[in-house]
Structure 1
Amino acid sequence: MHILKADSYRRTPWKNGGGETSEIAVHPEGAGFDDFSWRVSMARVAADGPFSAFPGIDRTLSVLEGKGIALDIDGRDPVVLTADSEPLRFAADATTFGRLVDGPISDLNVMTRRGRFDHRVTRRDVDGRIMLVVSGASLLFCAGPELQLAAEGVAERLGPWDAALFEGPARSVAVEGNGRLLVVELRDID
């Protein structure tokens, strides 16, 4: 279990230059926009605008805070995504335009390179204690306010927007508290 603190995330400009992203984790480590296999990041979206295009990439977007965003993906009817919506998966090379519902939002963005990795993002609301089994590469992201994790005799506290990265064989993780957890599962398909 590798704990990733929100205040240590690497900040980089968006690919289209329209804002800034906080990189939580990337594989391989140190990879850029053109050579990552998978990438998990957060962004603050303060204005309407086009999404960066990533050829050959699939993405899942989850709203963390704010009233929401309406996404126009390849000219289809807009999809409104809020903090209470299920994470939305779509092609990162689709022409996508976002319109804020009512003010800025913060979001979690998970991307995988087609043909090399795949991913799944699920939202879990925790009220008490739950048990999860993680395997391969998995990232547990605390959407707030605070959660306790315990795995293999090690206990850690996750504050808002902190994460825990797991890699390797399957293991059980106890999650305790009252908050929201986003579970990111990353699967190598090579």
Structure 2
Amino acid sequence: MKILRASDYKRMPWKNGKGETAEIAVFPADASIDDFDCRISMASVVEDGAFSTFENVDRTLVVLSGEGIRLCVDGSDPIELRADSAPYIFAADAPTIATLLGGPITDLNVMMRRGTSDCRVRRQTSEPVAAWCRGVTLVFALDRCTKDGLQLLASTDCVMLEPGEALVLDRDENASVIVIDIA
């Protein structure tokens, strides 16, 4: 089990240069923005515009805070995502236009290169978090999370579990996490 603190996330410009992202994890660990198999990052979106494109990659987007965002992917009907929406999966190589619904948002991006691994992203709220992984599992804290009554994660920290490891976080009525399973 490895704790990833938000203060240690690697900050870098977006691929399109129009913003900044905080890279939480990348696989393989030495991969660049162009050759990763999986990349997990958090970003602030402060204006409307086009998303960066990534060839042969699927993106899962979760709105963490703010009013929300409207996405138009490859000319399809727009979809609105808010902080309480389910994770949304779409092709990262499709042209995507984003329109903010009422000001800046913060989002979580999970990008997986097609044909490398499977990935499942889910939001979990107000129940004990139990994770046992066959691949790599990341638990991203939306709120403070405790284990055995002690703080384990602050908001936007993450814990990474390797194959075979398990984690049970305390039940907390206010705690929410995003669980990312990579197999």
Common fold, TM-score beyond 0.5? yes
Instruction: Map residues 119-134 of structure 1 onto 2, 5 A cutoff.
Output: 119-127=119-127, 129-134=128-133
**1:34-66: per-residue Cα shift (whole Å, max 9, x none)?**
111101000000000000000000110000000
Contact 2:10 2:23 in 1 (8 A): yes
Contact 1:51 1:96 in 2 (8 A): yes
1:93 alignment partner in structure 2: 93
| TM-score, structure 1 as length reference | 0.90
The alignment yields a C-alpha RMSD, in angstroms, of 1.4
Q: Aligned partner of 2:119: which letter? A: H
1:34 alignment partner in structure 2: 34
> Does the alignment pair 1:181 with 2:177?
yes
**1:123-179: per-residue Cα shift (whole Å, max 9, x none)?**
00025x3433223111000012x11247xxxx761110000011122x432111331
Among 146, 155, 158, the alignment partner of 1:148 is: 146
1:63 alignment partner in structure 2: 63
Supply the distance in 2 between the matched residues of 1:149 and 1:51 (Cα, whole angstroms): 37
Structure 2: gaps spanning 5 or more residues: none
Supply the distance in 2 between the matched residues of 1:27 and 1:130 (Cα, whole angstroms): 24
Distance 1:16 1:143, change over 3 A: same
Distance 1:47 1:60, change over 3 A: same
1:158 alignment partner in structure 2: 153
> Which structure has greater strand proportion?
1
Number of paired residues?
Answer: 180
1:112 alignment partner in structure 2: 112
Shift of residue 85, structure 1, vs aligned partner: 0.1
1:168 alignment partner in structure 2: 163
Structure 1: gaps spanning 5 or more residues: none
